[in-house]
A and B are shown apart, each in its own frame.
Chain A
Amino acid sequence: MITGALIVVLSFGYVGLLFALAYYGDKRADAGRSIIANPYIYTLSLAVYCTSWTFYGSVGRAATSGIGFLPIYLGPTLMAALWWYVLLKLIRISKAHRITSIADFIASRYGKSHLLGGLVTIIAVLGIVPYIALQLKAISASFSIILQYPTEALVIDSFSDLPFLHDNTFYIAMLLAAFTILFGTRHLDATERHEGLVAAIAFESVVKLVAFIAVGCFVTYGMYDGFSDVFRKAAALPEFNALLNQGGAAGNYTNWLSLTVLSMLAIILLPRQFQVAVVENVDERHLNKAIWLFPLYLLAINIFVLPIALGGLMHFPAGTVDADTFVLTLPMTERVTWLALLAFIGGLSAATGMVIVETIALSTMVCNDLVMPILLRWKYLRLTERRDLSGLLLGIRRGAIIVVLALGYGFFYLAGEAYALVSIGLISFSAVAQFAPAMLGGLFWKGGTRLGALWGLTAGFLVWLYTLLLPSFAKSGWLPITFLTEGIFGIDLLKPQQLFGLQDLDDISHCLFWSMIANIGLYVTISLWRRPTATEHGQANLFVDVLRYVAAGSGSRFWRGSATVIDLQTLLGRFIGPERAHEAFAAYARSQGIQQIEKLTANAVLVHYVESQIAGAIGSASARDMVASVVDEEPLALDEVMAIIDEASQALAYSRQLEEKSRELQSATDELRKANQRLQELDRLKDDFISTVTHELRTPLTSIRAFSEILSDNPQLDQAQRGKFLGIITRESERLTRLINQVLDLAKLESGAADWNPSEMDMREVIEEAATALSQIYKERNIRLELQLPEITPPVTADRDRVMQVVLNLLSNAANFCEKPDSRVCITLEHRSEALQIEVSDNGIGISPADQAIIFEKFRQVSDMPAGKPKGSGLGLAISREIIEHFGGRLWVDSTPELGSRFCFTLPLQRIGGAALAA
Chain B
Amino acid sequence: MIKPVLKGQRLVALFLLGALLFNYPLLALFAGSERVLGIPLLYLYLFTAWIALIGLMALIIERTDT
Chain A residues proximal to chain B, CB less than 8 Å = 67, 70-71, 74, 77-82, 84-85, 227-229, 231-232, 241, 244-246, 250-251, 253, 256-257, 260, 288-289, 291-292, 295-296, 299, 303, 306
Contact = CB atoms under 8 A, between A and B. Distances in A.
Given A227-B38, A253-B27, A245 B33 contact: yes
Nearest to A228: B38
Interface in B11-61: 11-12, 14-15, 18-19, 22-24, 27-28, 31-33, 35, 37-40, 42-43, 46-47, 50-51, 53-54, 57-58, 61
A78 B31 CA distance: 21
Contacts of B39: 227-228, 231
Contacts of A79: 15
Given A231-B38, A256-B23, A299-B54, A251 B31 contact: yes
Contacts, number: 95
A281 to B, nearest CB: 17
Contacts of B61: 288-289, 291-292
A476 B51 CA distance: 40
Given A70-B46, A84-B7, A251-B31, A295 B54 contact: yes
A253 B12 CA distance: 23
B15 A74 contact: no
Contacts of B18: 74, 77-78, 81
22 contacts: A71-B22, A74-B46, A77-B54, A78-B19, A78-B22, A81-B12, A81-B53, A82-B11, A82-B12, A227-B39, A228-B37, A228-B38, A245-B42, A246-B28, A246-B31, A246-B32, A250-B31, A256-B23, A260-B23, A292-B58, A295-B50, A299-B47
B38 A81 contact: no
B54 A296 contact: yes
Contacts of B40: 231, 244-245
B37 A80 contact: no
A142 B52 CA distance: 36
Given A260-B22, A299-B51, A81 B11 contact: yes
Interface residues of B, number: 33
B18 to A, nearest CB: 5
Contacts of B38: 227-229, 231-232
Nearest to B32: A245
B16 to A, nearest CB: 9
Contacts of A245: 31-33, 40, 42
A241 B35 CA distance: 12
Given A81-B18, A245-B32, 17 more contacts: A71-B22, A74-B46, A77-B50, A78-B19, A82-B11, A232-B38, A245-B33, A246-B28, A250-B31, A250-B42, A251-B31, A256-B24, A291-B61, A292-B57, A295-B54, A299-B51, A306-B43
Contacts of B7: 84
B57 A299 contact: no
Contacts of B53: 77, 81, 295
B23 A81 contact: no
Closest 6 CB pairs of A and B: A228-B38, A253-B24, A81-B15, A292-B57, A292-B58, A244-B40
* A-side interface mostly: helix
Nearest to B50: A299
A257 B24 contact: yes
Contact of A74 (B8, B22, B31, B32): B22
Contacts of A253: 23-24, 27-28
B22 A295 contact: no
Nearest to B53: A77
B23 A82 contact: no
A246 B27 CA distance: 10
A292 B54 contact: yes
B26 to A, nearest CB: 10
Contacts of B35: 231
Contact of B23 (A232, A257, A299): A257
A548 to B, nearest CB: 12
Contacts of B14: 81
A246 B30 CA distance: 9
B37 to A, nearest CB: 5
Contacts of B42: 67, 244-245, 250
Contacts of B11: 81-82, 84, 291
Contacts of B32: 245-246
Which of A79, A245, A256, A292 has the most B CB atoms < 10 Å from its CB? A292
B43 to A, nearest CB: 6
A80 B53 CA distance: 11
A67 B33 contact: no
Contacts of A85: 8, 12
A260 B15 CA distance: 13
Nearest to A75: B22
B47 A250 contact: no
A71, A229, A296, most chain B CB atoms within 10 A:
A296
A71 B27 CA distance: 12
Contacts of A292: 54, 57-58, 61-62
A413 to B, nearest CB: 39
Contacts of A289: 61
Contacts of A241: 33
Nearest to A288: B61
Contacts of A84: 7-8, 11-12
B9 to A, nearest CB: 9
Contacts of B23: 253, 256-257, 260
B7 to A, nearest CB: 7
A299 B53 CA distance: 11
A246 B18 CA distance: 21
Contacts of A251: 31
A834 B43 CA distance: 101
B57 A80 contact: yes
Contacts of B37: 228
Contacts of A257: 23-24
A320 B61 CA distance: 48
A253 B35 CA distance: 21
A425 B8 CA distance: 31
Contacts of A74: 18, 22, 46, 50
Nearest to B17: A81
Nearest to A306: B43
Contacts of A296: 54
B1 to A, nearest CB: 11
Contacts of B54: 77, 292, 295-296, 299
